[in-house]
Structure 1
Amino acid sequence: MTLLDIETFLAVVKYGNLSVAAQNLFISQPALTRRLQYMEQELGYPLIVRQKGHRAVQLTEQGREFYRIAWKWQLLLEETNSISFSGQRELLSVAAVNSVGRYLLAPVFPEFFSHKFRLRLYNAFSEDAYQYMEQGLYDLAFIEQQDFIHKNAHGIFTKPAFSESFVIASYQELPVEDGGVLARSLKPEQEIYVPWNNEFKFWHSDRFNNRISPVVFLEDVSLLECFLLDERWVVVPAAMGRYLESKGAHVYSISDAPPNRIIYYLTKGDKKETPIKLLISLLDQYLRATFHNEIKSLLRDGET
């Protein structure tokens, strides 16, 4: 399977339409279809559901699983092809869940780059982090799902990075009592529900009637702004709440709040020790200088 094949599949997923994907790849739709068929023959399973009259692409279960690794495969192939051009600057491969990478790591990257390191950033899935750390795809990973933590497994070290509270965000003003919003008083049918972690899910099921479905169930938080409209509301981590507030949303503390989420970071021995220590130090400084009660840095506690 070639890099061209991977790019074809990723374009199909990105645009959700074979014709549009073909146009953006500057090939004919029959040529794109043939590439997909060759990939499916090589893999031994179908990637997309084929239904007459349906223009939108729907992935099979195997296709969804393949997508989770396809873009990582693409990056590895690109990195392999560019080894001779990399120069002497050390590369750090960092993986983070979206809500950490976008809202907490992004602000410290400019300073990190000033030290002449190169960076490759991945959107992490907590359940895959250990596997990819072991395979050498990640040098440093930030995860939040406690279920997938196995201390020192396969030489991988797990340490707490920070504790972060949750807030409620909405573009409509919500009733405030004693400095916060009572979550159970809100309309569940207007909720955008994000299952942040197991502790959050337990808290949520205790507060709301499970027979009333939220207006949106969302796993990809990068799409949140598309849905947070009118009376809708959402529970998000504090850093994400601060971003939404900068966009005009009302952000409230929660009177009956869920437990803070703990973000952990993974390393593998002393691999890439210098750039990792630098990034960890920059993140620690940023958290302590920017957030007070909402986020508590635990990075100094985990120093060795």
Structure 2
Amino acid sequence: MNVLSIEAFLAIVETGNISAASEKLFLSQSTVSHRLKLLEEQLGIQLLVRNKGHRIIQLTSYGKEFISIAERWLSLWKDTQNLKSRHIYNDIAIGSVDSLNNHTFVPLYQKIVEKEPKINLQINTHHSSEIHTLLENRVIDIGFVFSQIHHNNIITKPIYSEKMYLLCNKSCNYYDNIKTKFLLKKNEIYLKWGLDYQQWHDSHWDPDEKSFITVNTGSMLYNYLNKKDAWAVAPLSIIKSIERFKDVACYSISDSPPDQKCYQLIHRYPKASHINGIEIFLEYLDDYINTCDWINKY
């Protein structure tokens, strides 16, 4: 196998046909077909079903199984190409949910960039399920999520938890230790923070009743707090981050939601060229969590 054949196969899988794959790779269709045929000959298996008149490719059972192998092979090949520059930079790719990347971990990232010029830090924002998949395929090195999904090759551990509070505009007539029965769902800016939060939420409000609006990132909450009596529930780290707008307030909730747990994900077999960067990042992370008095470290 060689990298050109592997890239041709993966391009065909991604685009759905040889014509589109050739455009993606800036090659002729005959070249892409030739590279695919060479790959099949080297493997001794047929990867594609060739039906005349069908534009969309159809993978054989071997072809479907080979996708993940090809992705890993290409990742390892790229690792070997990076060995020459390994002594110059320590690469590390982080995948986190929005509220961590845009609020909680901002000071952490800033300190690493300032103090460690030889760290090549890549920050990626995704949803929890996407982060698990990216880590499983070793596209990222460390993941941070609010919910657990079991993967054999991923080591998951809780690293901290934090309290959840009512978030609203200062003009609202809400107050500390407010009961949920005084928070109308029609005024809610809803964000699903995780399974535990969802269960708590559904025990206090009718799941079939409509919220004012539903958002999928913590960064969007502030945009809708100007509505009369609008409210949301958020962890303290987000509230601390948006307090700079001066027109927001936060209050405790009497029948409070469960603490928000943050989980750290690391691949059981990380990229060899990234191990040093991972170790440096985790040292800074541990120090940072110890300085945050609003969160509870595990």
Structure 2 length as normaliser, TM-score? 0.65
Letter in 2 for 1:124: H
Runs of 4+ in 1 over 6 A off after TM superposition: 41-44, 82-87
Q: 1:149 to 1:291 in 2, by over 3 A?
A: farther
Aligned partner (choices 143, 146, 155) of residue 145 of structure 2: 143
Letter in 2 for 1:161: I
Q: CA deviation at 1:90?
A: 1.2
Aligned partner (choices 232, 235, 243) of residue 234 of structure 1: 232
- Per-residue CA shift, 1:113-139, capped at 9, x if unaligned? 222201111113222333322322011
Report percent identity of matched pairs. 21
3-state SS in 2 of match to 1:161: strand
Letter in 2 for 1:226: N
3-state SS in 2 of match to 1:256: coil
Take 1:261 and 1:43, find their aligned partners in 2: how far apart are those partners? 45
Aligned partner (choices 130, 136, 154) of residue 134 of structure 1: 136
3-state SS in 2 of match to 1:246: helix
- Per-residue CA shift, 1:83-139, capped at 9, x if unaligned? 699672111000001111221221111221222201111113222333322322011
The aligned runs of 1:85-234 (5 Å cut-off) are 88-113=88-113, 114-115=115-116, 116-146=118-148, 148-150=149-151, 153-154=152-153, 156-171=154-169, 172-176=171-175, 179-230=176-227, 231-234=229-232
Q: CA deviation at 1:175?
A: 3.0
The aligned runs of 1:235-250 (5 Å cut-off) are 235-248=233-246, 249-250=248-249
Q: Do 1:167 and 1:253's aligned partners in 2 also have CA atoms closer than 8 Å?
A: yes
Query: How many residue pairs are counted as aligned between the two chains?
Result: 222
Unaligned segments of structure 2, at least 5 residues: 1-6, 9-19, 25-53, 58-74
The aligned residue for residue 15 of structure 2 is none
Structure 1 length as normaliser, TM-score? 0.64
The aligned residue for residue 265 of structure 2 is 266
3-state SS in 1 of match to 2:121: strand
The aligned residue for residue 14 of structure 1 is none
Take 2:165 and 2:205, find their aligned partners in 1: how far apart are those partners? 17
Unaligned segments of structure 1, at least 5 residues: 3-34, 45-75, 299-304
What is the aligned-residue RMSD (CA, Å)?
A: 3.1
3-state SS in 2 of match to 1:121: strand
Q: 1:188 to 1:42 in 2, by over 3 A?
A: farther
Structure with the greater alpha carbon radius of gyration: 2
Q: Do 1:168 and 1:241's aligned partners in 2 also have CA atoms closer than 8 Å?
A: no
3-state SS in 2 of match to 1:199: helix
Q: 1:109 to 1:85 in 2, by over 3 A?
A: farther
> Greater CA deviation, 233-242 or 119-128?
119-128
The aligned residue for residue 42 of structure 2 is none
Q: Do 2:96 and 2:131's aligned partners in 1 also have CA atoms closer than 8 Å?
A: no
Take 1:259 and 1:175, find their aligned partners in 2: how far apart are those partners? 20
Q: Do 2:102 and 2:219's aligned partners in 1 also have CA atoms closer than 8 Å?
A: no
Q: Do 2:218 and 2:238's aligned partners in 1 also have CA atoms closer than 8 Å?
A: no
